[in-house]
Structures are given as C-alpha cells and as structure tokens.
Amino acid sequence: MTFTDYFHSLDLNNLVKRSESISQAECERLLNKPKLQLSDFPVLLSPNMQSYLEPLAQRAQAITIQRFGKTMSLFAPMYLSNWCYNRCTYCGFSMELDYERVVLSDEEILKEAKALSSTGIQHVLLLTGEAPDKAGVDYIEHAVRLIKPYFSSIGIEIQPLKTVEYQRLIKAGVDTLTVYQETYHKESYMIYHLSGKKSRFDHRLETLDRGGEAGFHRLNLGALLGLYEWRYEALAIAHHIDYLKKRYWKSKFGISFPRIKSFVGQFDVQYPISDKELVQYICAFRLLFPDLGISLSTRESETLRNQLIHLGITSMSAGSHTEPGGYSGSDATCQFDISDERSVEDVCQYLHTQGFDPMLKDWDLQLVSD
C-alpha cells in the first residue's frame, strides 16, 4: 500500500470540522497530557487553542531544547535552472511566463558552489523547475558530483523521479529529498496545476514513497500555505508523516511551512494564514512529533523569523537566492521574492545574541559511506 491508498481513505473534511468544534476545556486537558497521539492533532489545530498560544509555545520550546538543544542548522537553496514545462498559477517558473530561461553550465555551477560555500554554508538544497530534457537526472547527477567537494550535505527539490533514479542521486552524494505536495486538497490542486506532469496529483503524492524506498537519509515535506485551508493541509501532512515514519523508519523527517510570496506573475491568495495561525501550526507539529526537523525559509520577514526561532524551529535558510546563478551575480528571473535578505554572517550573529549555536555543518555523508 502506498500513501495514496491510505490518503484517499481519510476523511479530512470531517477532521477539520472536529477541529473547529473543539471546546476550550478540551484544549486545556490536552495541554496537560504528557504524550500526544495523532488523534489529538485536531485539538492542537482548533480555533479555541489560539487562546492558549503562550503555554503551547512554551511547551514547544521546551521540547525542542530537550531534543535538539539550542542549536540551529543553516542551509541555503541553489537553483540550477528555471526551465519548467508545468503551468502552475502560483509559481514564478510557470511555463507561460515570458522571460529568458536559464540552465547553469558546468562553469556556472562551480562558480555558484564556490560563492555559496565561501559564506560558510555547508548544507545546500539543489532546485530546478520541472523540465527533464533541460535539467533531468543525468544533469542533476553531474551537478551533484561537481559540487560535492564544496558541501557536506546536498539535498534536492526537483521533479518527481523513479526509485532507481533517486538511488542514482544518492550514490552521487545526495542525502535529502524535499517534495512539497503544494496542496493536499485534490480539487484545488487540479485548479492550480493546469498542465504538465505536475498536474498528476496521485503521482506526486507517492513521490516520498519512492524516496523512502530509495533510502534517503532525510525526507522533507510540506504544503504551500495559501492554496487551501491551513487546517486541512496540516491534518493531511500529519497523517503523511505518521505513515512515512512507520514505513521508512530508517529515514529522518522534516517539515517546512512556506507561505506564498510575490513573483513575476500574479496570484490572488484565497486562503491566507495569519502570523498567529502560523505560530499555532508550528507548535502543533512540534508537540505531536518531538523529533521532527522543522525548517523556516527566507520567505518570512526578518522580524517574524527572529520570533519564530524560539518555537520549535531546528533549521533555517540564510543568505538565500531563488534564481539560477544568484550567488555569483546572475540577473536571471527568480522563482519568488525573499523577505529576509540578511547574510549568513548576520543571521549567525543574531542567533548568537539569542543563545543559539548556529550549525553550518552537522552532517557528513562520509560518516555513513562504505
């Protein structure tokens, strides 16, 4: 059974209704419960739980310090291409947008790797649009081998692949797979994804199964907040994580909470999530999954990121660029605008003032290599 089979057996709409009907008394009882289960998650997400954000946040912070200490892993994205054959209404790489597309050459990839690694970053996330003939498996595998001497950890966020293709990339030096379903609400998914391979909802839903079978050290997932109601997305993700943890127990797991940001096109966000709701979202996942990695991107503002690091965050991007060649001076079109433009050094300095130990390297593939 894949996650698709399990997912379609869930009644997420009913779980959302249950969450919305939770009483304050139920919220108070849950806050005093020593160990939480998946069945408790609707309570953590309930509107009435917003009256208890302070104790919720305190518990999330205590769990994070207990499990991770006051450390913060830093990473950065590195875009190899902005070519894409999908038409997605919310994305700056959508194929109908008219601008010059870029695929980095070997020389440009090495230039980017050197520029990024010079900032101290040792954890890199490689990204492309979904255009297999422009930046397919062969190209990405070659890029991984080129940059491997410059980074201790290499992750990918690319088009969904077959298990054997993921195994090739693991052998080349990739340790982490990130796949966002974008939205778990199928009807909305089909509205946003107009054409291209990404319009196959179930195929994308099974991608992390293929990644788990391939043997990635870490599997990261999430939803793009703003595409549908956030409680629905949170409940779907919680069930997805629970399924993955049981089936691919050798892997570690992480989640991110990206909110839609402005880009070269136009998109009207129908389901905005407030800062207060985002805090509840993050704390809920920390309480349910104490060992889960939780990432925070530069989509959020400097001010908000400074506040959120105390609530369960274990890794954050720093000094980010979302355009191919951005670290070495390219003027290519970006996927979306970033909101926190601080350098890696500035982020590290702020973390130190808050008592955190910034971790530029906390993993090395050689530690588990034959």
pLDDT per residue as tens, the chain (370 positions): 789 999 999 999 999 999 999 999 999 999 999 999 999 999 999 999 999 999 999 999 999 999 999 999 999 999 999 999 999 999 989 999 989 999 999 999 999 999 999 999 999 999 999 999 999 999 999 999 999 999 999 999 999 999 999 999 999 999 999 999 999 999 999 999 999 999 999 999 999 999 999 999 999 999 999 999 999 999 999 999 999 999 999 999 999 999 987 666 678 899 999 999 999 999 999 999 999 999 998 889 999 999 999 999 999 999 999 999 999 988 888 888 888 999 999 999 999 999 999 998 765 655 554 4
The residue behind tokens 């440009």 is 108
**Token pair recorded at residue 329:** 């001076």
Within 8 A by CB and 6+ apart from 273, the residues are 225, 226, 230, 259, 281
Angle at CA of residue 74, ends 160 and 364, nearest 5°: 70
Q: Quote the pTM value.
A: 0.95
Provide, for the chain, the percentages of residues in helix, strand and coil under a 3-state DSSP scheme, each rounded to the nearest 5.
45, 15, 40
CA 199 vs. chain centroid, Å, equals 20
Distance of CA 86 to the CA centre of its chain: 20
Residues ≥6 apart with Cβ < 8 Å to 218: 155, 175, 176, 177, 251, 252, 253, 254, 293
Residue whose C-alpha is closest to residue 10's, from 253, 292, 220, 232: 232
Q: How far apart are CA 311 and CA 124, in angstroms?
A: 24
Where helices occur in 248-343 by DSSP H, the ranges are 275-288, 302-308
pLDDT at 282 (0 to 100): 97
Q: Residue 265: what pLDDT?
A: 67
| Alpha helices (H) in the chain, listed in sequence order | 3-7, 12-20, 24-31, 41-44, 53-68, 106-117, 132-135, 137-147, 163-172, 186-192, 201-205, 207-214, 230-247, 275-288, 302-308, 344-353
Burial 230-269 (b: 16+ CB within 10 A, else e): bbbbbbbbbbbbbbbbebbeebbbbbbbbbbbebbeebee
Q: Do the Cβ atoms of 105 and 324 come closer than 8 Å? A: no
Report which DSSP code applies to 176: E
pLDDT (0 to 100) of residue 370:
43
Paired tokens of 348: 């590290």
Instruction: State how far the Cα of 335 lies from the Cα of 261, in Å rounded to an integer.
Output: 10
Contact 264, 273 (CB under 8 A): no
Instruction: Please say whether the structural domain 3-363 has been given the CATH code 3.40.50.720.
Output: no
Strand partners, 269: none
Which two tokens mark 123?
A: 């954890």
Cβ atoms of 294 and 313 closer than 8 Å: yes
Angle at 290 between CA 285 and CA 292, to 5 degrees: 70
Distant-in-sequence, close-in-space partners of 118: CB < 8 Å, separation ≥ 6:
none
Look up residue 40 and give its DSSP letter. Answer: G
CA dihedral sign of residues 238, 315, 346, 324:
negative
> Pairing relation of β-strands 315-317 and 71-79?
parallel
pLDDT of residue 338: 86
